[in-house]
Amino acid sequence: MRKCELALPRRLVILLDMSQTRKAPVARVRYHPAAYEFVDLALKFTQRRLGKGGEPRETETAPTGHISGPQLLDGIRELALKEFGLMTIPVLRHWGIANTEDFGRIVWDLIERGQLSKTDRDQISDFCGVYDFESAFDRDYQFAIPATFRS
């Protein structure tokens, strides 16, 4: 199992309950609303790409559309490059996302809100260090050259 330190991101809002001073502050990670929308779009994109419809089968109670953390991250990478190209890293940074762990936090936020579900095998550590942003979105970027410009 990968060991992962889930450090708090730069954008952090501390919510204090001033009525009980002995309680420790509760930290809530907040990302730009567009980040949550993008993760939802990437989830649907990845489900379609993997042929998972998301509807329960007659004999199952769990949806067949479940995908793993690494599968979702692959879909996020593919969709981000398709939508933003070389601007992917600046867009993600604007949303407060600096690494794959941030996507895991967004997924867990959506789970806590009841917008996504998880299985017993799913863990936030599934999102730790899956890929490096510079390699995934910048150095390995491939330009699509139309046939007109090929020799």
pLDDT in tens, 102-127: 999 999 999 999 999 999 999 999 99
pLDDT at 44: 96
Question: Quick one: pLDDT at residue 9?
Answer: 44
- In the prediction, which pLDDT does 148 show? 72
- Alpha helix (H) residue ranges in the chain: 33-49, 69-84, 88-94, 100-112, 133-134
The pLDDT value recorded for residue 138 is: 84
Residue 145 confidence (pLDDT): 75
Q: Which residues of the chain fall below pLDDT 50?
A: 1-2, 7-21, 23-27, 56-61
- Rounded Cα gap, residues 80 and 41, in angstroms: 10
SS3 of 148, please?
helix
Q: What contacts 117, CB < 8 A, 6 or more positions away?
A: 63, 66, 111
